[in-house]
Structure 1
Amino acid sequence: MDDPLTTNLLALAPRLALLDALVDESNLTRAAAIVGVPQPTASRWLTELAEHLGTPVVSRIGRGIRLTHAGQQLAESARRASAELRLGLRAALSEADPERGHVSLAFLHTMGGVRVPELLAGFRAAHPGVRFTLVQGASEDLLHRLSIGEADLVLTAPLPVHDPGFETSAIAKQPLVAVVPTGHPLAARARVGLTELIESEFVSLKPGFGLRRIIDDLFAQAGCTPRVSFEGEEADTLRGMVAARLGVAILPESEPLPNPGTIEIPLHPAAFREIGLAWSADRTLAPVVRMFRDYVERSSDRT
């Protein structure tokens, strides 16, 4: 075997999981435990890697270690490779028995209260053997996870319809409402315009969340800019801040009921966010993932 690259790849392959663990751990003993090997074995692997590459992959910091630049490069590749391997294994297993397959579903925090639990309950009633890994986060983070293979499907808004790396399926339009505290001067209104809200301080999601992007676009179209005093990461937190009279918010209509201490007012003109599923355009969906995607699409047709 004269090809040095092939030699290095063969030496690296059994050690990918260790490098992946070292991305999050600065302690070799803990990283070795995650991988399931003794600490001396993990230490020997790192030494052998350094010998194969001609450069160290870790450096010592007191009692801990950190990855060198070369180690970081390998670790990033290892993480991507591990994600691809997990996808391949799940696909192979679900081909053998889709009813005992696995789906990694990522979704926005605002969909975790009612929508996602209802979808999972309905699907599991017909397919009780299917397992799920659930991940919540901001839209950009979820799509990144999807792009690197850490998620099979993403339930998000807005949908990345202009990104060729994703395929999408719209499933619902969710009304956006003004959320104000009880007793607010606008609380008795049947509808409210965006320009009427800018006199109040706002609480909003942080930049990077899809809903924040939608709301910023709505205000830009209305020719006004809200005074955002507080930024958070979860809609429920924002609703609590509104109830505490720290500001008003634009949020999806509550499912099923508004929080105590808050009033939800439809916007005029009406505004919505389109929610739906996204998946990688570059990977073939495993049979169990296709089953769940099709179920979600059929469920949206019934609503």
Structure 2
Amino acid sequence: MELRQLRYFIEVAEREHFTEAAEHLHVAQSAISLQISKLEGELGVTLFERTGRNIKLTPIGKTFLIHTKKAIKAIDYAKQKVDEYLDPEKGTIKIGYPTSLANHLLPTVISAFKANNPDVSYHLKQGSYALLLESVKNGEIDLAFLGPVPTDDPDLYSDILFSEGISLIVPANHPLSDHKNVHLSDLQSDDFILYPKGYILHEIAVDACKRAGFVPTITAEGEDMDAIKGLVSAGIGVSLLPDGTFYDRESRLTVKIPISSPEVKRTVGVITPKNRDLAPTEKVFYEFVKQFFSRLDKFQ
């Protein structure tokens, strides 16, 4: 069984077409057909059902595909680690991040790191809190920025980089828009625009309102910061967002107001897996991130 046979098999299986697979791989169709036949002969099973020019996986072919993809992923990962060990200055860093850290933290950190490491490549994955936790655990990515930082997960190392406040954002014509700060209880009659249920920022906002003595009336939801800010600017309602999301120029249609009570904050940091070592390039970036934020007084 050869590695190229497995790669050919995966390509044909996912496209269900020999010609398309051959074109994508820049290999003659006859060569792919020959290697697939050899693979089936060695395994002693039929992986594809052929009906004219159409093909589809047999039941055992589907099972073989699942495990083959895992094997190829592991081999590619191992090769990447060897390459990075030989030359850590030209490795690839896989980084996960949520939307709430996308407009300031992530570009700031990567820009600073690239200044001294111009040949490093990046594979960036945006996702929800739960998705990023799982992605680091299962090996899809090796490092992720998160807020708040999980501190009791047995499968992860967690480093808190800084804490930031959560502020109120209201339409510019809101009765409280000229206040220097607000008690969250003053908003109990307002409509709220939050992330959907299941998102960590949804939980933080709802918990803050409950601590202020009320359950928020949620009239709209948005899955990214721009959507939520846009709905607030349209006068649909108010929202609670991390201070780090206001680094871009605020709209004249909205106003950010600090919350005096209850205190609403979140930690922001980086998580890495406990069950595997970071590659040399990732270690360099990881140490850089910790040192970078330790030097920034404004994040303390």
Q: Distance in 1 between matches of 2:222 and 2:54?
A: 34
Partner of 2:219: 229
Partner of 1:261: 253
Q: Distance in 2 between matches of 1:182 and 1:219?
A: 21
Q: CA deviation at 1:34?
A: 4.3
Partner of 1:300: 293
Partner of 2:268: 275
Q: CA deviation at 1:107?
A: 0.9
TM-score by length of 2: 0.83
TM-score by length of 1: 0.82
SS at match of 1:160: coil
Q: Distance in 2 between matches of 1:259 and 1:83?
A: 44
Gaps of 5+ in 2: none
Partner of 1:245: 235
Partner of 1:99: 89
Contact 1:201 1:247 in 2 (8 A): yes
Q: Which of 157, 162, 172 pairs up with 1:182?
A: 172
Q: Distance in 2 between matches of 1:198 and 1:27?
A: 59
Deviates more, 1:13-22 or 1:86-95: 13-22
Q: CA deviation at 1:172?
A: 1.5
Q: Which of 203, 207, 211 pairs up with 1:217?
A: 207
Residues 210-234 of structure 1, C-alpha deviations (whole Å, 9 max, x = no match): 3223333333444532222222221
Deviates more, 1:256-265 or 1:272-281: 256-265
Q: Which of 191, 194, 211 pairs up with 2:184?
A: 194
Q: Distance in 2 between matches of 1:20 and 1:221?
A: 53
SS at match of 2:141: coil
Contact 2:145 2:269 in 1 (8 A): yes
Q: CA deviation at 1:241?
A: 1.4
Matched to 1:191, the amino acid is N
Partner of 1:3: none
SS at match of 1:224: coil
Q: Distance in 2 between matches of 1:72 and 1:198?
A: 54
Matched to 1:155, the amino acid is F
Contact 2:212 2:262 in 1 (8 A): no
Q: CA deviation at 1:255?
A: 1.3
Q: Tell me: CA distance 1:213–1:69, structure 2 relative to 1, closer, same or farther (3 Å).
A: farther
Contact 2:208 2:262 in 1 (8 A): no
Q: Distance in 2 between matches of 1:227 and 1:244?
A: 17
Matched, 1:116 2:109: no
Partner of 2:161: 171
Q: Which of 68, 74, 93 pairs up with 1:84?
A: 74
Deviates more, 1:84-93 or 1:190-199: 190-199
Gaps of 5+ in 1: 1-9
Q: Tell me: CA distance 1:241–1:99, structure 2 relative to 1, closer, same or farther (3 Å).
A: same
Q: Tell me: CA distance 1:126–1:49, structure 2 relative to 1, closer, same or farther (3 Å).
A: same
Q: Tell me: CA distance 1:225–1:129, structure 2 relative to 1, closer, same or farther (3 Å).
A: same
